[in-house]
């Protein structure tokens, strides 16, 4: 499949010594592969990530080269528009080049198994067809401009809880039909040059050393021959991962593939030199695909920040098609400028925050971020009187100390003492540290083992202020030499601490105005059983908030504002610390502690024209839904967030987004409820995928409709559409040719998505009622009609029969259902279908 090995690669491989070939099998550093300059082998640079080429600096501190922030995959999936995904891939390739990289670590394409999945926003959909089709276009867009795509995480990376070690027990049918299917589609339609393995185990074996995934299916049945790399810190063995087909351990320097460990495995017969050759050959071929050999001795060019106007326009267009209107009672929306002139508009909640991306490796330092407050001002200008109130506490952790603190040198800030493990005295002391927090990635600090932060705090008021603390490893907090907090255990996921912070319990301490308090934080690294990238590194934080700020009644102020305004818009959602890599969602309800739900409920009680704009990458509870007039789901729409939201609210853009996930009313109705994130036995977290193939709408189709808040494929418009006169025929080659007439029955131009589902007419418990097999987004002028043709193959009706280990279509009658969501089927055609086994997919 795809790229053919050249004589150059083979000749080069033969010229390398065994040691040199081994050196190619792990990264040089965090982002680059290992060069062998004497033989003309360059390093090539990788970059995160799926919604923007971040560059080489983690964005935890909002640092690094600025980059364009594109909509999260769940937002782009809501467009149901593959052509936009292709253009996103093109733009991401251009962005990757500005960071001196030739390999982009994306797209992320695991399925949304459960609404609490912490990294769902990075992935496209609960449906493998939709995810695979859109991801394939991103891959094509990247690679046609010379940048390698790295589809990830292969496979079944659907949760963050104990993601490094969790063992997922999945049937082969579910694995093939749901969790591997998006990868299969992307590989067969776009031939990505790289695949990244997942952290987790599948049926007892880590993904990076899984013979079934990497040998039997990926390289065997699918015939793919690109490079397989580990997730960062996701290599778990030497010989097993090499034998299974993991070409590249990332990042470097290597933990498993030292010359000594690989040579020993060769000598003991656990590895062959042929395997080393195969792995090294794949590394060399990737270098050739990205044209690395053209300038083998040149280092990557310096990173640049290029704010491309065409990328700005694309981001706004994708967001405009991805935002979804979920409710619009009495056609309250759009709020046209001429209708709002001279009126008062309350912007509440997170209106002044731009929720443009989730947390973790998908985050970046954007060129800019447009908040809803800014976007709505851009649209309405001075014609509307805007009023704002926050209305709810939404922080996850108390902010660190940053004021009224003096270090040991007598100057503002904190003093940092760095120790080796013996603790015989600090090796180094640094003054002027700004916050009461310490990251394991803070430059030269990282190599030190034990760290002490200290400062003198002089309160400006007498009160019992609030504190909280957590650490990667054991941590103690002293005030005037008294232990006020102690964490004895290590963090379950050090990366979770880095990206979003570990859960912290708040406590109070009585401070007296004008009195000096000596505060000291001591922390050791996480070392016991830690296999993450941050093993052996310390990290900790001390949060602090004054009592009056912590206990301030924000909701009453917001209610007063809303009562005085003609329309109230409440902006709800997840900031990056609430929805992030490294942790699953804390709750199905919006954070914090129900504060946002209470805010919406209170505002709706005083203003009948209450609109909610929600920015999350997942479904959330909406207990207030019956009380409000309209809901817009904004996802994480990238750096143009506020402008895109304003486009929809004002009617400048007619919403055409459709849900790529199902939206339950209660978390108890989710298909994986009760077996997410699993249960522990003898220290091993195991999660059973007992729902099998009944993920998302495949499950919700089988329960009462009133238990579903919004069905898969659903979305409203400022116009209306109808589907009529559907027909289906099968040709001599087994292909099904379908047609349906689509009409815009309203008064404004807009777009809908024709969705074609197929299922057996005779329902049975072993199979879904219907499955998405094709879709098409259609743009129509008022009263315009178009005929949409969709072709599907016999294999698109197949299921994986575990008894015979074959893809099978059973003979019988099948319903071809044309609709605008799983719950809005407008035309059904029934056809007799001949069965078939051993289909070649």
What residue spans of 651-712 are helical by DSSP H? 697-700
**DSSP-assigned states of every residue in 225-248:** -SEEE--TT----SHHHHHHT--B
77's CB contacts (< 8 A; 6+ apart) are: 124, 125, 130, 131, 134, 322, 660
389's CB contacts (< 8 A; 6+ apart) are: 346, 348, 554, 557, 558, 560, 561, 562
Q: Which of 351, 348, 350, 342 is nearest to 381 (CA)?
A: 342
Q: 45 and 251 in contact (C-beta within 8 Å)? A: no
Q: Which of 127, 231, 530, 701 is catalytic?
A: 231
Q: 603 and 348 in contact (C-beta within 8 Å)? A: yes
Measure the CA–CA gap between 385 and 380, rounded to whole angstroms: 9
Can you tell me which residue has the tokens 């973790």? 360
Measure the CA–CA gap between 12 and 280, rounded to whole angstroms: 10
Measure the CA–CA gap between 780 and 741, rounded to whole angstroms: 12
Q: Which of 470, 475, 472 is nearest to 452 (CA)?
A: 475
> CB 793: neighbour CB atoms within 10 A?
14
Can you tell me which residue has the tokens 């971040």? 54
3-state secondary structure 322-388: HCEEEEEHHHCCCCCHHHHCCCEEEEEECCCCCCCCCECCCCCCECCCCCHHHHHHHHHHHHCEEEE
- 493 in catalytic set: no
Give the N- to C-terminal CA distance of the chain in Å, as an integer.
14
**DSSP-assigned states of every residue in 739-777:** EEEEEE-SSS-EEEEEEEEEEESS--TTS-S-EEEEEEE
Measure the CA–CA gap between 472 and 493, rounded to whole angstroms: 8
Supply 687's token pair: 């999660």
Q: 572 and 610 in contact (C-beta within 8 Å)? A: no
Measure the CA–CA gap between 626 and 262, rounded to whole angstroms: 63
Measure the CA–CA gap between 739 and 742, rounded to whole angstroms: 10
Q: 127 and 550 in contact (C-beta within 8 Å)? A: no
Measure the CA–CA gap between 574 and 269, rounded to whole angstroms: 52
The single-letter DSSP state of residue 631 is E
Q: Which of 439, 364, 370 is nearest to 65 (CA)?
A: 364
Encode 440-469: b = buried (16+ Cβ within 10 Å), e = exposed: bbbeebeebbbbbbbbbbebeeebebbbbb
> CB 825: neighbour CB atoms within 10 A?
16
CA of 708: how far to CAs of 131, 615, 666, 695, in Å?
A: 22, 20, 8, 14
Q: 12 and 40 in contact (C-beta within 8 Å)? A: yes
SS3 535: coil
Q: 795 and 839 in contact (C-beta within 8 Å)? A: yes
Handedness of CA 361, 585, 111, 791 (dihedral sign): negative
Measure the CA–CA gap between 143 and 146, rounded to whole angstroms: 5
Instruction: Give the residue numbers marked as catalytic.
Output: 231
């Amino acid at each position: 499949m795809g790229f053919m090995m050249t004589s150059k690669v083979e000749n080069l491989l033969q010229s390398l010594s065994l040691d040199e070939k081994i050196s190619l099998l792990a990264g040089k550093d965090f982002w680059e592969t290992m060069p062998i300059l004497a033989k003309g082998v360059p390093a090539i640079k990788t970059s995160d990530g799926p919604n923007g080429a971040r560059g080489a600096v983690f964005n935890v501190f909002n640092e690094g080269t600025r980059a364009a922030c594109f909509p999260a995959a769940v937002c782009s999936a809501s467009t149901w528009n593959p052509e936009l995904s292709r253009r996103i891939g093109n733009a991401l390739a251009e962005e990757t080049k500005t960071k001196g990289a030739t390999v982009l670590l994306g797209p992320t394409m695991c399925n949304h198994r459960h609404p609490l999945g912490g990294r769902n926003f990075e992935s496209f959909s609960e449906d493998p067809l939709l995810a695979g089709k859109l991801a394939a276009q991103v891959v094509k867009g990247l690679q046609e401009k010379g940048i390698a795509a790295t589809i990830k995480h292969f496979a079944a990376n659907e949760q963050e809880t104990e993601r490094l070690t969790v063992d997922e027990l999945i049937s082969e049918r579910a694995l093939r039909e749901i969790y591997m299917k998006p990868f299969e589609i992307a590989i067969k339609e776009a031939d990505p040059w790289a695949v990244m393995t997942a952290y987790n185990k599948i049926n007892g074996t880590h993904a990076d050393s899984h013979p079934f995934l990497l040998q039997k299916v990926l390289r065997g049945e699918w015939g793919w021959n690109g490079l397989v790399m580990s997730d960062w810190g996701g290599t778990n063995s030497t010989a097993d991962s090499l034998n299974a087909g993991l070409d590249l351990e990332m990042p470097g320097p290597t933990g498993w593939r030292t010359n000594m460990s690989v040579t020993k495995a060769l000598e003991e017969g656990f590895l062959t030199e042929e395997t080393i050759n195969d792995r090294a050959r794949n590394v060399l071929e990737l270098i050739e695909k990205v044209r690395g050999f053209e300038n083998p001795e040149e280092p990557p060019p310096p990173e640049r920040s290029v704010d491309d106007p065409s990328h700005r326009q694309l981001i706004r267009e994708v967001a405009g098609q991805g935002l979804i209107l979920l409710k619009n009672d009495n056609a309250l929306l759009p709020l046209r400028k001429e209708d709002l002139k001279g009126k008062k508009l309350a912007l509440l909640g997170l209106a002044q925050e731009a929720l443009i991306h989730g947390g973790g490796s998908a985050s970046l330092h954007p060129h800019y971020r447009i908040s809803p407050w800014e976007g709505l001002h851009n649209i309405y200008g001075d014609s509307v009187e805007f009023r704002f109130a926050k209305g709810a506490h939404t922080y996850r952790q108390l902010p660190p100390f940053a004021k009224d603190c003096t270090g040991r040198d007598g100057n503002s800030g904190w003093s940092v003492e760095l120790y080796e493990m013996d603790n015989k005295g600090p090796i180094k002391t640094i003054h002027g540290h700004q916050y009461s927090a310490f990251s394991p990635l803070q430059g030269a600090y990282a190599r030190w083992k034990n760290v002490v932060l200290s400062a003198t705090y002089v309160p400006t008021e007498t009160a019992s202020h609030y504190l909280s603390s957590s650490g990667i490893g054991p941590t103690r907090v002293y005030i005037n030499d008294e232990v006020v907090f102690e964490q004895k255990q290590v963090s379950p996921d050090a990366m979770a601490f880095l990206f979003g912070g570990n859960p912290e319990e708040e406590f109070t301490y009585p401070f007296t105005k004008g009195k000096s308090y000596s505060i000291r934080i001591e922390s050791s690294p996480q070392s016991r059983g830690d296999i993450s990238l941050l093993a052996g590194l310390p990290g900790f934080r001390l949060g602090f908030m004054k009592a009056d700020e912590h206990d301030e009644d924000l909701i009453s102020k917001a209610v007063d504002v809303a009562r005085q305004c003609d329309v109230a818009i409440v902006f709800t959602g997840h900031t990056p610390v609430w929805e992030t890599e490294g942790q699953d969602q804390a709750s199905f309800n919006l954070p914090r502690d129900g504060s946002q739900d209470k805010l919406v409920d209170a505002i709706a009680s005083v203003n009948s024209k209450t609109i909610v704009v929600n920015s999350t990458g997942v479904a959330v509870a909406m207990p207030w839904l019956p009380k409000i007039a309209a809901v817009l789901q904004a996802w994480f729409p990238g750096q143009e967030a506020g402008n895109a939201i304003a486009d929809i609210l004002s009617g400048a853009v007619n919403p055409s987004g459709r849900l790529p996930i199902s939206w339950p009313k209660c978390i108890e109705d989710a298909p994986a409820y009760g077996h997410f994130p699993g249960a522990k036995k003898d220290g091993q977290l195991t999660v059973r995928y007992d729902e099998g193939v009944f993920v998302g709408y495949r499950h919700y189709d089988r329960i009462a409709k009133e238990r579903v808040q919004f069905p898969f494929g659903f979305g409203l418009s400022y116009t209306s559409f109808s589907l009529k006169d559907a027909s289906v025929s099968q040709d001599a080659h087994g292909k099904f040719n379908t047609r349906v007439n689509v009409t815009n029955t309203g008064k404004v131009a807009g777009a809908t998505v024709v969705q074609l589902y197929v299922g057996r007419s005779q329902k049975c418990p072993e199979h879904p009622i219907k499955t998405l097999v094709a879709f098409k987004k259609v743009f129509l002028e008022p009263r315009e009609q178009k005929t949409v043709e969709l072709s599907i193959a016999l294999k698109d009706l197949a299921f994986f029969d575990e008894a015979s280990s074959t893809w099978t279509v059973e003979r019988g009658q099948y319903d071809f259902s044309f609709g605008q969501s799983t719950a809005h089927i407008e035309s059904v055609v029934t056809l007799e279908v001949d069965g078939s086994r051993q289909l070649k997919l």
